[in-house]
Amino acid sequence: MKLVKSLLLVTLALAAVGVQAKYNGEDRGRPVMPAEINAKMQAECSGCHMAFPPGLLPAASWKKVMTGLDKHFGTDASLSAADTKEITDYLVKYGSNRWTASTAPLRITESEWFKAKHLSGEISPAVWKRESVKSASNCMACHSGADKGDYNERNIHIPK
Amino acid sequence: MKFTFHTSALLACAALALPLVVSANPILDGYKAETKGTFSAAAGEKLYKTVGPNQLSCASCHTDSPKNAGKHAKTNKAIDPLAPSANAQRFTDAAKVEKWFKRNCNDALGRACTTQEKGDFMTYVLSVK
Protein backbone atom coordinates (compact mmCIF):
# COMPACT_ATOMS: atom_id res chain seq x y z
CA MET A 1 0.00 0.00 0.00
CA LYS A 2 2.79 2.32 0.96
CA LEU A 3 4.56 1.50 -2.33
CA VAL A 4 1.42 2.22 -4.36
CA LYS A 5 0.99 5.52 -2.55
CA SER A 6 4.55 6.64 -3.18
CA LEU A 7 4.36 5.52 -6.81
CA LEU A 8 1.21 7.55 -7.19
CA LEU A 9 2.90 10.57 -5.64
CA VAL A 10 5.88 10.24 -7.96
CA THR A 11 3.58 9.98 -10.98
CA LEU A 12 1.62 13.03 -9.87
CA ALA A 13 4.81 14.98 -9.28
CA LEU A 14 6.12 14.06 -12.72
CA ALA A 15 2.83 15.04 -14.31
CA ALA A 16 2.96 18.38 -12.53
CA VAL A 17 6.53 18.96 -13.73
CA GLY A 18 5.47 17.92 -17.23
CA VAL A 19 2.68 20.49 -17.31
CA GLN A 20 4.82 23.20 -15.85
CA ALA A 21 7.65 22.49 -18.22
CA LYS A 22 5.63 23.12 -21.37
CA TYR A 23 7.99 25.23 -23.48
CA ASN A 24 10.17 25.30 -20.33
CA GLY A 25 7.68 27.71 -18.84
CA GLU A 26 7.98 30.12 -21.76
CA ASP A 27 4.44 29.94 -23.09
CA ARG A 28 2.50 32.70 -24.80
CA GLY A 29 -0.64 33.95 -23.14
CA ARG A 30 -4.20 33.03 -23.80
CA PRO A 31 -5.54 35.10 -25.38
CA VAL A 32 -2.49 36.70 -26.94
CA MET A 33 -4.52 39.79 -27.82
CA PRO A 34 -6.73 41.27 -25.09
CA ALA A 35 -10.16 42.72 -25.80
CA GLU A 36 -8.89 46.10 -24.61
CA ILE A 37 -7.09 47.83 -27.46
CA ASN A 38 -4.72 50.72 -26.76
CA ALA A 39 -4.78 53.18 -29.66
CA LYS A 40 -1.42 54.71 -28.73
CA MET A 41 0.31 51.34 -28.59
CA GLN A 42 -1.21 50.38 -31.95
CA ALA A 43 -0.17 53.65 -33.60
CA GLU A 44 3.36 53.87 -32.20
CA CYS A 45 4.43 50.23 -32.66
CA SER A 46 2.97 50.01 -36.14
CA GLY A 47 4.92 53.11 -37.14
CA CYS A 48 7.68 50.63 -37.99
CA HIS A 49 6.30 47.10 -37.64
CA MET A 50 3.16 45.20 -36.73
CA ALA A 51 1.98 45.96 -33.20
CA PHE A 52 2.73 42.58 -31.66
CA PRO A 53 -0.01 41.18 -29.39
CA PRO A 54 1.16 41.71 -25.77
CA GLY A 55 0.56 38.05 -24.82
CA LEU A 56 3.46 36.89 -27.00
CA LEU A 57 5.94 37.89 -24.25
CA PRO A 58 5.80 38.14 -20.44
CA ALA A 59 5.44 41.48 -18.63
CA ALA A 60 9.14 41.43 -17.68
CA SER A 61 10.11 41.35 -21.36
CA TRP A 62 7.89 44.31 -22.19
CA LYS A 63 9.43 46.32 -19.34
CA LYS A 64 12.87 45.67 -20.82
CA VAL A 65 11.77 46.49 -24.37
CA MET A 66 10.13 49.72 -23.26
CA THR A 67 13.11 50.96 -21.23
CA GLY A 68 15.47 50.50 -24.20
CA LEU A 69 13.49 52.15 -26.99
CA ASP A 70 16.34 54.52 -27.91
CA LYS A 71 18.30 51.42 -28.97
CA HIS A 72 15.49 49.19 -30.22
CA PHE A 73 17.18 46.38 -32.16
CA GLY A 74 19.61 48.85 -33.70
CA THR A 75 17.06 51.60 -34.27
CA ASP A 76 16.11 54.70 -32.29
CA ALA A 77 12.42 54.21 -31.51
CA SER A 78 12.26 56.59 -28.56
CA LEU A 79 8.95 58.03 -27.38
CA SER A 80 7.93 60.84 -25.06
CA ALA A 81 7.91 59.90 -21.37
CA ALA A 82 4.10 60.06 -21.24
CA ASP A 83 3.63 57.79 -24.27
CA THR A 84 6.27 55.36 -22.98
CA LYS A 85 4.42 55.05 -19.69
CA GLU A 86 0.98 54.55 -21.23
CA ILE A 87 2.22 51.86 -23.63
CA THR A 88 4.35 50.12 -20.98
CA ASP A 89 1.38 49.96 -18.59
CA TYR A 90 -0.78 48.39 -21.30
CA LEU A 91 1.83 45.82 -22.38
CA VAL A 92 2.65 44.85 -18.80
CA LYS A 93 -1.04 44.47 -17.93
CA TYR A 94 -1.59 42.05 -20.82
CA GLY A 95 1.75 40.22 -20.95
CA SER A 96 1.55 36.43 -21.21
CA ASN A 97 -0.57 34.90 -18.44
CA ARG A 98 0.95 31.45 -19.01
CA TRP A 99 4.65 32.34 -18.75
CA THR A 100 6.03 30.64 -15.62
CA ALA A 101 9.79 30.85 -16.27
CA SER A 102 11.82 33.69 -14.79
CA THR A 103 13.23 34.42 -18.24
CA ALA A 104 12.45 37.64 -20.13
CA PRO A 105 13.69 37.51 -23.73
CA LEU A 106 13.77 40.71 -25.76
CA ARG A 107 12.88 38.94 -28.97
CA ILE A 108 9.64 37.01 -29.46
CA THR A 109 11.61 34.66 -31.72
CA GLU A 110 13.85 33.69 -28.78
CA SER A 111 10.98 32.33 -26.69
CA GLU A 112 10.60 28.58 -26.34
CA TRP A 113 6.99 28.56 -27.55
CA PHE A 114 8.02 30.37 -30.74
CA LYS A 115 10.93 28.06 -31.45
CA ALA A 116 8.79 24.96 -30.85
CA LYS A 117 6.11 26.25 -33.21
CA HIS A 118 8.55 27.14 -35.99
CA LEU A 119 10.85 24.11 -36.14
CA SER A 120 13.38 24.13 -38.97
CA GLY A 121 12.15 20.65 -39.96
CA GLU A 122 8.72 22.13 -40.71
CA ILE A 123 9.67 25.53 -42.06
CA SER A 124 12.82 25.63 -44.14
CA PRO A 125 15.29 28.35 -43.06
CA ALA A 126 15.14 29.61 -46.67
CA VAL A 127 11.48 30.62 -46.21
CA TRP A 128 12.44 33.31 -43.69
CA LYS A 129 14.84 34.85 -46.20
CA ARG A 130 12.26 35.27 -48.98
CA GLU A 131 11.65 38.90 -49.98
CA SER A 132 7.97 38.34 -49.15
CA VAL A 133 8.91 37.39 -45.58
CA LYS A 134 12.30 39.03 -44.99
CA SER A 135 12.26 38.66 -41.21
CA ALA A 136 10.87 36.29 -38.61
CA SER A 137 9.34 39.36 -36.98
CA ASN A 138 7.08 39.76 -40.00
CA CYS A 139 4.22 37.64 -38.58
CA MET A 140 1.77 38.94 -41.17
CA ALA A 141 3.70 37.37 -44.03
CA CYS A 142 2.20 33.98 -43.11
CA HIS A 143 -0.34 34.74 -40.34
CA SER A 144 -2.58 37.25 -42.09
CA GLY A 145 -4.63 37.87 -38.93
CA ALA A 146 -1.61 38.25 -36.66
CA ASP A 147 -2.26 41.92 -35.92
CA LYS A 148 -5.62 40.87 -34.46
CA GLY A 149 -4.07 38.04 -32.48
CA ASP A 150 -5.14 35.31 -34.93
CA TYR A 151 -2.39 32.73 -35.27
CA ASN A 152 -4.77 29.85 -36.03
CA GLU A 153 -3.10 27.12 -38.10
CA ARG A 154 -6.03 27.13 -40.55
CA ASN A 155 -5.24 30.72 -41.47
CA ILE A 156 -1.56 30.22 -42.30
CA HIS A 157 -0.50 30.88 -45.89
CA ILE A 158 3.24 30.73 -46.52
CA PRO A 159 4.01 33.13 -49.40
CA LYS A 160 6.23 32.29 -52.35
CA MET B 1 -20.83 98.53 -29.67
CA LYS B 2 -18.68 100.44 -32.09
CA PHE B 3 -15.66 98.55 -30.78
CA THR B 4 -17.33 95.16 -31.42
CA PHE B 5 -18.06 96.14 -35.00
CA HIS B 6 -14.46 97.06 -35.61
CA THR B 7 -13.17 93.83 -34.11
CA SER B 8 -15.38 91.63 -36.27
CA ALA B 9 -14.47 93.65 -39.36
CA LEU B 10 -10.82 93.11 -38.57
CA LEU B 11 -11.39 89.37 -38.07
CA ALA B 12 -13.17 89.16 -41.41
CA CYS B 13 -10.22 90.84 -43.12
CA ALA B 14 -7.83 88.44 -41.41
CA ALA B 15 -9.89 85.45 -42.53
CA LEU B 16 -9.84 86.69 -46.11
CA ALA B 17 -6.10 87.24 -46.02
CA LEU B 18 -5.39 83.84 -44.41
CA PRO B 19 -5.25 81.66 -47.56
CA LEU B 20 -2.37 83.81 -48.83
CA VAL B 21 -0.26 83.00 -45.76
CA VAL B 22 -1.14 79.29 -45.60
CA SER B 23 1.69 78.20 -47.93
CA ALA B 24 4.19 78.79 -45.12
CA ASN B 25 4.53 75.89 -42.71
CA PRO B 26 4.14 76.82 -39.02
CA ILE B 27 6.65 74.16 -37.96
CA LEU B 28 9.23 75.52 -40.39
CA ASP B 29 8.42 79.03 -39.16
CA GLY B 30 9.20 77.83 -35.64
CA TYR B 31 12.64 76.59 -36.71
CA LYS B 32 13.23 79.85 -38.54
CA ALA B 33 12.38 81.86 -35.44
CA GLU B 34 14.88 79.74 -33.50
CA THR B 35 17.83 80.15 -35.86
CA LYS B 36 17.00 83.67 -37.07
CA GLY B 37 18.72 82.65 -40.32
CA THR B 38 17.71 81.36 -43.74
CA PHE B 39 17.23 77.80 -44.90
CA SER B 40 18.44 76.20 -48.11
CA ALA B 41 16.66 73.50 -50.09
CA ALA B 42 19.99 72.50 -51.67
CA ALA B 43 21.54 71.91 -48.23
CA GLY B 44 18.42 69.94 -47.26
CA GLU B 45 18.69 67.73 -50.34
CA LYS B 46 22.36 67.06 -49.56
CA LEU B 47 21.40 66.03 -46.03
CA TYR B 48 18.63 63.78 -47.38
CA LYS B 49 21.19 61.87 -49.43
CA THR B 50 23.99 61.76 -46.85
CA VAL B 51 24.95 58.20 -45.91
CA GLY B 52 25.94 58.03 -42.23
CA PRO B 53 28.01 55.65 -40.09
CA ASN B 54 25.26 52.99 -40.13
CA GLN B 55 25.29 52.90 -43.94
CA LEU B 56 21.84 54.48 -43.89
CA SER B 57 20.50 57.70 -45.36
CA CYS B 58 17.01 59.23 -45.42
CA ALA B 59 16.76 57.80 -48.94
CA SER B 60 17.33 54.24 -47.64
CA CYS B 61 13.72 54.15 -46.48
CA HIS B 62 12.12 57.17 -48.17
CA THR B 63 13.62 56.40 -51.64
CA ASP B 64 15.51 58.84 -53.88
CA SER B 65 12.59 61.27 -53.87
CA PRO B 66 10.46 62.27 -50.84
CA LYS B 67 7.52 62.18 -53.26
CA ASN B 68 7.61 58.38 -53.47
CA ALA B 69 6.15 55.82 -51.09
CA GLY B 70 8.99 54.12 -49.24
CA LYS B 71 9.72 50.93 -47.35
CA HIS B 72 11.37 50.41 -43.96
CA ALA B 73 14.90 49.15 -44.64
CA LYS B 74 14.67 46.49 -41.91
CA THR B 75 11.03 45.52 -41.50
CA ASN B 76 9.67 46.10 -45.02
CA LYS B 77 6.86 48.17 -43.54
CA ALA B 78 5.28 50.50 -46.15
CA ILE B 79 6.04 54.19 -45.62
CA ASP B 80 3.75 56.89 -47.03
CA PRO B 81 5.39 59.67 -49.06
CA LEU B 82 7.24 62.29 -47.03
CA ALA B 83 6.60 65.28 -49.32
CA PRO B 84 3.41 67.20 -48.47
CA SER B 85 2.82 67.55 -52.22
CA ALA B 86 2.12 63.81 -52.23
CA ASN B 87 0.87 63.39 -48.66
CA ALA B 88 -0.91 66.33 -47.02
CA GLN B 89 -0.58 64.79 -43.54
CA ARG B 90 3.16 65.40 -43.43
CA PHE B 91 4.68 68.18 -41.31
CA THR B 92 1.37 69.12 -39.72
CA ASP B 93 2.07 67.85 -36.17
CA ALA B 94 5.08 69.45 -34.47
CA ALA B 95 5.48 66.71 -31.84
CA LYS B 96 5.45 64.03 -34.52
CA VAL B 97 8.01 65.94 -36.60
CA GLU B 98 10.32 66.29 -33.59
CA LYS B 99 9.87 62.62 -32.66
CA TRP B 100 10.94 61.46 -36.11
CA PHE B 101 13.81 63.96 -36.45
CA LYS B 102 15.23 62.65 -33.17
CA ARG B 103 14.94 59.01 -34.20
CA ASN B 104 15.97 59.27 -37.81
CA CYS B 105 18.87 61.69 -37.39
CA ASN B 106 20.24 59.21 -34.83
CA ASP B 107 19.75 56.25 -37.17
CA ALA B 108 20.89 57.84 -40.41
CA LEU B 109 23.58 60.26 -39.19
CA GLY B 110 24.49 58.75 -35.83
CA ARG B 111 23.79 62.06 -34.08
CA ALA B 112 21.10 64.66 -33.42
CA CYS B 113 20.28 67.21 -36.12
CA THR B 114 20.67 70.92 -35.53
CA THR B 115 17.74 73.29 -35.96
CA GLN B 116 19.49 74.63 -39.06
CA GLU B 117 19.57 71.12 -40.56
CA LYS B 118 15.92 70.48 -39.71
CA GLY B 119 14.99 73.75 -41.41
CA ASP B 120 17.08 72.96 -44.50
CA PHE B 121 15.59 69.46 -44.65
CA MET B 122 12.01 70.71 -44.39
CA THR B 123 12.65 73.43 -46.96
CA TYR B 124 13.84 70.76 -49.39
CA VAL B 125 11.00 68.30 -48.73
CA LEU B 126 8.38 71.07 -48.91
CA SER B 127 9.85 72.23 -52.23
CA VAL B 128 9.48 68.85 -53.94
CA LYS B 129 6.44 69.08 -56.19
Of B75, B99, B102, the CB nearest to A48: B75
Task: Establish if B36 belongs to a structural domain.
Answer: yes
Task: Establish if B56 belongs to a structural domain.
Answer: yes
Would the CB atoms of B99 and A79 count as touching at under 8 Å? yes
For residue B86, the model assigns a pLDDT of 98
Asked if the interface predicted TM-score (ipTM) of this complex is over 0.85, the answer is no
Cα nearest neighbour of B99 on chain A: A79
For residue B21, the model assigns a pLDDT of 45
**pLDDT tens-digit series, residues B90-111:** 999 999 999 999 999 999 999 9
Task: Give residue B54's domain range.
Answer: 24-127
Instruction: Name A75's bridge partners.
Output: A72
For residue A135, the model assigns a pLDDT of 87
DSSP-derived letter for residue A136 is T
Residues of chain B with C-beta less than 8 angstroms from the C-beta of A49: 72, 75, 77
**pLDDT tens-digit series, residues B39-89:** 999 999 999 999 999 999 999 999 999 999 999 988 888 999 999 999 999
Q: Is the pTM for the entire model greater than 0.90?
A: no
Q: Closest approach of chain B CAs to the CA of A93, in angstroms?
A: 26
Is the pLDDT at B19 greater than 50? The verdict is no
pLDDT confidence bin for B1, thresholds 50/70/90: very low
* Number of independent structural domains in chain B: 1
**pLDDT tens-digit series, residues B4-15:** 555 555 555 444
B45: domain CATH number is 1.10.760.10
Task: Establish if B11 belongs to a structural domain.
Answer: no
Kindly give, in sequence order, each residue whose CB lies less than 8 Å from that of residue B10, ignoring residues fewer than 6 positions away: none
For residue A7, the model assigns a pLDDT of 61
Task: Establish if B5 belongs to a structural domain.
Answer: no
Task: Establish if B14 belongs to a structural domain.
Answer: no
For residue A91, the model assigns a pLDDT of 98
Q: Closest approach of chain A CAs to the CA of B67, in angstroms?
A: 19
Would the CB atoms of A48 and B72 count as touching at under 8 Å? yes
DSSP-derived letter for residue A72 is B
Local mean pLDDT, 10-residue blocks, chain A (160 residues) = 63 57 94 98 96 98 98 96 98 98 97 96 93 90 96 95
Strand boundaries in A28-75, DSSP class E: none
Neighbours of A74 (CB within 10 A): 9
Phi, psi (degrees; rounded to nearest 5) at A146: -55, -40
Of B54, B75, B102, the CB nearest to A135: B75
Of A74, A77, A134, the CB nearest to B76: A134
Is the pLDDT at B17 greater than 60? The verdict is no
